[in-house]
């Protein structure tokens, strides 16, 4: 029998709170004695700008500071640490060269208040990036302003509302399939619309007949995610677009999963009127950790007048920011968006080219289908058909032994890998969503497949082992429900 690989071994450093490491009189730095008269902060700054001293502020040495944060960093798991199959969001490797290019002094030291004449390089980059994104999505115009995917959704839906209002009726409803991203219903509600859910059919796609039944003159449009959260391409999207357009509605496509189709198909050619791009997932900015992000929005030609201000234009004297747009929805962010994220996306697109972008999509799709085909005998696949960038399993086979999706995820940590997305999408009971991305090689994917097969075998032969996982991590299984309901946000020094 083939010897099982060792996935995880070595030393895990213990580390306490920085407050617990505090010792009276310790200092992390020392400065020479001041050679100017001392002044109290209140003599220099107004009282409203001063804060009270922090009670029990930790006093530690320089070595303790460095060790504390270094040890904490070793507890963090990221794509540079190992395989990261988190589904629904593109967790790929992002070339470090793009990080370096985004720090070039001419860009990193630029300031938006320095004016158009002194910002020609930055404006040109943004102008060309918008053109590249428009070409990739099949859109007529693109705004770079939104700072995240959900912010892009909000901006795009506001454009839809402005368009209908201009035509005399903002309408009151928006259709949202049950396989769409979870932020879609929240976005529609925030923009004053009532979301109408339509169910997926037996193939995991939005049903065109279901859309036709609820599409009325009071529906502003539909928000559809393509590929959807099952990783399945919405094969009825062109027909759905015709149904929505026939009633005067608009089609919004959530582009968070664009890495499955970019360079292969364009949403604009499918009848999509509005879409957002996640630069922080698909275009070379690491995703996760709370930011930064960027969610540019592309629109069809009839919607370009409503894009937020300022837009970046090119005139006889160079590039400039145009705020003279009477039908615009206005500003959606301070300045012009998250510039560093845009720059990394620009570098990535220029370095990849059309062939490289298409290859990235093809590799993502190949990887996901390889995993689906390799694990279908060991895990339930609710929609066992050709998928795109991600595939979805469930714990239906393991639940017979009392093993759940959460148990499987925790046990995977013992094999040295980050768990996939759990319990989402909601239309699959106890879902396990896996996205291998385009950048993992076959050896890494094979190791993941071996680990999942091993866990499936353990669930049948020794379910208590899986239910007790993880056993090799810094901490064993935590009470996540209790942590969420009663988080400890302050540390109190014991008397």
Q: Give the pLDDT score at 293.
A: 85
In which domain, by residue range, is 237 found? 97-351
Same structural domain for residues 66 and 125? no
CA 431 to chain CA centroid, Å, is 19
pLDDT digits (tens, 9 = 90+) for 20-30: 888 988 988 88
Instruction: Assign 8 a pLDDT band (cuts: 50, 70, 90).
Output: very low
Same structural domain for residues 347 and 387? no
Compute the average pLDDT of residues 64-90. Answer: 81
Strand-pairing partners, residue 299, are: 141, 274
Q: Is the pLDDT of residue 492 over 80?
A: no
Q: Assess if residue 81 is contained within a domain.
A: no
Last residue of a domain, one of 307, 331, 351: 351
Q: Is the pLDDT of residue 456 over 50?
A: yes
Q: Assess if residue 215 is contained within a domain.
A: yes
What is the Cβ-side half-sphere exposure of residue 159, based on CA atoms within 13 angstroms?
A: 33
| Element containing residue 155 per DSSP (H, E) | helix 149-166
Question: Which residues lie below 8 Å from residue 343, measured CB to CB, with a gap of 6+?
Answer: 98, 101, 102, 107, 125
Q: Assess if residue 87 is contained within a domain.
A: no
Q: Give the pLDDT score at 131.
A: 98
Q: Which CATH number do you get for residue 266?
A: 3.40.640.10
Q: Assess if residue 244 is contained within a domain.
A: yes
| Separation between Cα atoms, residue 209 and residue 207, nearest integer Å | 5
Which region among 26-30, 43-47, 184-188, 428-432 has the lowest average model confidence (pLDDT)? 26-30
Q: Is the pLDDT of residue 281 over 90?
A: no
Compute the average pLDDT of residues 116-138. Answer: 96
Per the prediction, the chain carries an average pLDDT of 90
Instruction: Assign 7 a pLDDT band (cuts: 50, 70, 90).
Output: very low
Same structural domain for residues 145 and 248? yes
Q: Assess if residue 357 is contained within a domain.
A: no
Same structural domain for residues 63 and 124? no
Order of strands across the sheet that contains 173-177: 141-143, 297-299, 274-277, 250-255, 219-225, 173-177, 194-198
Q: Is the pLDDT of residue 6 over 60?
A: no
- Give percent of the chain with pLDDT exceeding 70: 94
The tally of domains found in the chain comes to 3
Same structural domain for residues 227 and 282? yes
Same structural domain for residues 374 and 245? no
Compute the average pLDDT of residues 59-71. Answer: 91
């Amino acid at each position: 029998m083939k010897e099982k690989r060792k996935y995880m071994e070595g030393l895990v450093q213990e580390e306490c709170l920085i407050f617990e490491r505090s010792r009276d009189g310790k200092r992390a730095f020392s400065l020479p004695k001041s050679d100017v008269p001392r002044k109290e902060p209140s003599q220099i700054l107004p009282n409203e700008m001063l804060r009270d001293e922090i009670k029990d502020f930790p006093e530690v040495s320089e070595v303790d500071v460095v060790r504390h944060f270094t040890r904490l960093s070793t507890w963090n798991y990221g794509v540079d640490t190992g395989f990261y199959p988190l589904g629904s969001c593109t967790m790929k490797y992002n070339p470090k060269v793009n990080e370096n290019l985004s720090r070039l002094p001419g860009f990193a030291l630029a300031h938006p208040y320095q004016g158009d004449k002194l910002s020609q390089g930055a404006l040109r980059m943004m102008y060309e990036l918008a053109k590249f994104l428009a070409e990739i999505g099949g859109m007529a115009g693109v705004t770079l302003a939104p700072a995240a995917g959900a912010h892009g959704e909000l901006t795009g839906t506001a454009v839809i509302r402005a368009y209908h209002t201009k035509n005399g009726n903002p309408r009151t409803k928006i259709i949202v399939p049950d396989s769409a991203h979870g932020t879609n219903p929240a976005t529609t509600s925030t923009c004053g619309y009532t979301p109408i859910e339509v169910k997926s059919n037996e193939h995991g796609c939005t049903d065109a007949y279901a859309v036709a039944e609820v599409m009325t003159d009071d529906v502003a449009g539909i928000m559809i995610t393509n590929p959807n959260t099952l990783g399945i391409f919405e094969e009825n999207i062109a027909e759905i677009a015709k149904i929505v357009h026939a009633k005067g509605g608009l089609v919004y496509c959530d582009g968070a999963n664009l890495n499955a189709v970019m360079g292969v198909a364009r949403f604009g050619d499918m009848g999509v009127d509005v879409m957002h791009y996640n630069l922080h997932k698909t275009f070379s900015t690491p995703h996760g950790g709370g930011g930064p992000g960027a969610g540019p929005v592309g629109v069809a030609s009839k919607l370009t007048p409503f894009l937020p201000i300022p837009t970046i234009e090119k005139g006889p004297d160079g590039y400039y920011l145009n705020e003279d747009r009477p039908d615009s929805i206005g500003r959606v962010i301070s300045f012009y968006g998250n510039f560093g994220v845009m720059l990394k996306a620009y570098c990535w697109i220029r370095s990849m080219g059309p062939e490289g972008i298409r290859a990235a999509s093809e590799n993502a799709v190949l990887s996901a289908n390889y995993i689906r085909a390799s694990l279908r005998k060991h895990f339930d696949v609710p929609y066992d058909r050709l998928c795109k960038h991600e595939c979805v399993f469930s714990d239906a086979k393991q639940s017979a032994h009392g093993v759940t999706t959460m148990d499987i995820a925790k046990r995977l940590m013992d094999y040295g890998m980050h768990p996939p997305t759990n319990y989402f999408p909601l239309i699959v009971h106890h879902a396990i969503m896996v996205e291998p991305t385009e950048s993992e090689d076959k050896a890494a994917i094979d190791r993941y497949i071996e680990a999942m097969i091993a866990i499936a075998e353990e669930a049948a032969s020794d379910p208590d082992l899986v239910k007790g996982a993880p056993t090799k991590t810094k901490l064993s299984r935590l009470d996540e429900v209790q942590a969420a309901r009663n988080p400890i946000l302050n540390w109190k020094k014991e008397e």
